Structure 1
Amino acid sequence: MEEKNQEYDLAFTHLRNNQNISAYNLFTNLAESYKKSDEPKSALLYLLAAECKSRQNKDNNEEILMAANLYQNFAKKDKSYSSKSAYLCASKCFLKTGKYSEAKKAFNKSKEISSAQISFMRPVIIIEDSKAITMKLEKYLEKLGYSTFYSFEKGKDGIKKCKELISESQNPIILLDMGLPDIGGDVVASTLLEEQLDLQIIVITADEKTSKRVNKTISSGVASFIQKPFTIEEVKKAIDIAESEY
């Protein structure tokens, strides 16, 4: 990562000094390196490479189209409001290269996306060892409009699935029981928050909110707390808080 940051800084130094060929080579190398791991970043780097060509009065359609396709690919896979911005970026890139039909399609796709729609597309991970409570939560989630959820009895399995979804930019909401058969809910929470600091975790427990373990977990950055037994209204309120922080 440090090496890439150095390349990034060097590329901008070349760009400022009008050393456009050197800057172009660095930007394209960086763009290639981010293609699989971070498509929006790769797209931006291709646009910077396109700027280098523009300064040399060279055709830069290839780089701009590469950026357009990367933005569009990201938008198709992403399940957050970021997909709207990605479609708009793709549309602008297509427009610059004269691909008017593709630009219109991408723009229309962006108009289909609203923040309200996105909230119901987010997956939910339930980490709870009681099958009865899991079934209750699943029933509540369906009533609240959520259609994609995954349930796990063990913390380690829940962590694995959560990391998988994060890697796919799906940003799940976590409903987390504190008392699990393999590892504690507090350990699950701290592990996941290390993976993604702004992850929305809702703690579910029979313990009092003031108990040492629960208080420590809440202080670590979880979004909300539900005490057992709970109602659908309490679940909705906790999820609304999580959504508002997203």
Structure 2
Amino acid sequence: MNTKINCEIALTHLKNKQFITAHNLFLDQAESLKKSEYLKSALLFMLAAECKKRQGKESENEIREAGNLFVKYSKLENSPNMRGALLCASKCFLLQGEFDKAKDAYQKAKVMIPPKIHVTRPIVIVDDSKAISMKLQNYVEKLGYNEIHIFENGKDAIKGCKKLYSENKSPIVLLDMGLPDLEGDVVASKLLKENLHLQIIVITADEKNTSRVNKTISSGVSAFIQKPFTLDELKKSIDITESEYSLLQ
């Protein structure tokens, strides 16, 4: 049975909350590919880690393997997206608390020229401040995005994102931490459960080292912006999400 079919079977088990079976299938595939196809293996290890996470178990080994494989992939001479691989590696190391390795991978990615963005993805803005939402809308329009959805609370944002998923769209979510109905980390967690590869950029007035922000970052969001922010800061964060997205395609 080929990898694609095995992966589809594993994803079906994951969707049906059969996490142990899904984990074992993803892990077997990841192990079988890790010496030949670094990128596929890394992504399969991440899926195996997600299965453990949904069981409430630690997934250090899977995440560490994924991070190391992303780095290996980035070193291949003909890798089409070295930058995206390094950003994914950085996220893995950050989740592991290996801050020096995370910083090293991020710094290497930072100096690389990002791939040209083909603006086809919708932007979802989640903020209860109309002033902030208008500012974000103005900024992303300047970056070339034209499908923009604005929500003032977490529940509506989750419904809106589900609708976009049903239309086979992959939005970038600009998520405020302080919403009137749900905390940002709760919204991020719910959105990521619906779509493992969703890109979320957290926007908050909180310091990055606060427990609330750390909890949200560890849930798997792509980037963090602190208020007040500039167009350049937003662009850099969107570049990161687009690099991750192109790597996962």
Q: TM-score range by the shorter chain?
A: 0.5 to 0.7
Q: Which residue of 2 aligns with 1:189?
A: 188
SS in 1 for 2:119: helix
Instruction: Encode CA deviations 1:183-219: one digit per residue, 9 max, x unaligned.
Output: 1111100000001111000000000111001001001
RMSD: 1.5
Query: Within 5 A, what are the aligned runs for 1:170-209?
Result: 170-209=169-208
What amino acid sits opposite 2:152 in the alignment?
A: E
Give the Cα separation in 1 of the matches to 2:147 and 2:136: 13
Q: Which residue of 2 aligns with 1:239?
A: 238
What amino acid sits opposite 1:236 in the alignment?
A: K
User: Post-superposition, which runs of at least 4 consecutive aligned residues in structure 1 deviate over 6 A?
Assistant: none
How far residue 166 of structure 1 moved from its aligned partner, in angstroms, is 1.0
Matched, 1:169 2:134: no
Give the Cα separation in 2 of the matches to 1:156 and 1:193: 14
What amino acid sits opposite 1:239 in the alignment?
A: I
Give the Cα separation in 1 of the matches to 2:187 and 2:219: 11
Give the Cα separation in 1 of the matches to 2:148 and 2:116: 18
Q: Which residue of 2 aligns with 1:135?
A: 134
What amino acid sits opposite 1:155 in the alignment?
A: G
How far residue 169 of structure 1 moved from its aligned partner, in angstroms, is 1.1
Give the Cα separation in 1 of the matches to 2:151 and 2:238: 19
TM-score by length of 2: 0.52
What amino acid sits opposite 1:192 in the alignment?
A: L
Query: Within 5 A, what are the aligned runs for 1:211-230?
Result: 211-230=210-229
Instruction: Encode CA deviations 1:122-175: one digit per residue, 9 max, x unaligned.
Output: 000000011111000000011100001100101100110101111211100000
TM-score by length of 1: 0.52
What amino acid sits opposite 1:220 in the alignment?
A: S
Q: Which one has more relative contact order, counting CA pairs under 8 Å at least 6 apart?
A: 2
Instruction: Encode CA deviations 1:47-93: one digit per residue, 9 max, x unaligned.
Output: xxxxxxxxxxxxxxxxxxxxxxxxxxxxxxxxxxxxxxxxxxxxxxx
SS in 2 for 1:193: helix
Give the Cα separation in 1 of the matches to 2:138 and 2:220: 27
Bigger CA radius of gyration: 1
What amino acid sits opposite 2:177 in the alignment?
A: M
Query: Within 5 A, what are the aligned runs for 1:53-68?
Result: none
What amino acid sits opposite 2:153 in the alignment?
A: K
In structure 1, list runs of 5 or more residues that go unmatched. 6-114
Number of aligned residues: 133
Give the Cα separation in 2 of the matches to 1:150 and 1:181: 18
SS in 2 for 1:121: coil
